Amino acid sequence: MSGLEIAGAVLATFPLIISGLEHWKKAARIAGFFKHIREEYNKCRREVQFHQLEYVGHLKQLLFPIVGDLDETKRLINETDCNEWRDPIMQGKLKERLQDSYELYMETITRMDQSAKALQKELCFDDTAVQSKINNEATRQASPSRSSVLSHIRSKIDYQLFKVKFSLRELNRREHFDQLKECNHHLERLLNTSDKISALQNTPNQSSKRVKHLEKVFLAAWKMSYHLFKALQMSWNCPCQKLHFANLKLEHR
């Protein structure tokens, strides 16, 4: 995939991670132990949303100068499956925008894609087990005894492992979150470096234009002063005109 495609893939992964979290929550509620993982669940969800928000903000900063329109930039971010993410012209503009930072930027965005997918896998470690317990919700509603259904769910070894894995694998999730944080930070620094270099490259041209403008202004002022001096000189026809000499410090340039 191109760098722009990978950037879009990372963007599309965050909703899948949150969807995985919702599966944990729904299944845990059915089993009756959500209160035991509520704090960790909320903490995990907030962190996912934070990294998502940070990444979306970064993409807006990256894409707006390329796209040239704020509404179009927002549309591109909201539609991660649109053709623009695979457009070679857009990819070329991205490379031009990042300049020397492009290769390292691509390596970083690839690592971020890997970390996001690893986190998604960590939070959706057993879709079959999760979905089967969610489907039991319909059975529970038709059952005469809710307690018997809950007892049946709790007796399932795979579902107990489901509970344990969420509660005890915080270190695994923390590692993936730290990697996302590091990648987001590096992407921001690389983009800022590229923007600073672009600003420096444009500065000499702006300074040169300003100097040329000032030269024109000073030349016009010199010409006006010179003509004024000549007019005054010609109006003095008295023999003592040397005594009326005014040194205006004018130099020929």
pLDDT tens, residue order, the chain (253 aa): 777 888 999 999 999 999 888 887 887 787 777 887 788 889 989 999 999 999 999 999 999 988 888 888 899 898 888 888 888 898 899 888 888 889 999 999 999 999 999 998 887 755 455 555 555 554 555 554 555 555 555 445 455 666 666 667 778 888 999 999 999 999 999 998 888 887 777 665 555 666 677 777 767 776 777 666 666 666 656 666 555 555 555 555 5
- Exposed, middle or buried by CB within 10 Å (0-12, 13-18, 19+), for 212? exposed
- What type of residue is 176? H
Domain segments of the chain as ranges: 3-205
Closest residue by Cα to residue 32 from 122, 173, 128, 140: 140
Closest residue by Cα to residue 48 from 177, 194, 163: 177
pTM score, two decimals?
A: 0.67
Three-state secondary structure call for residue 37: helix
| DSSP H stretches of helix in 143-169 | 146-154, 157-168
Dihedral of CA 57/101/173/2: which sign? positive
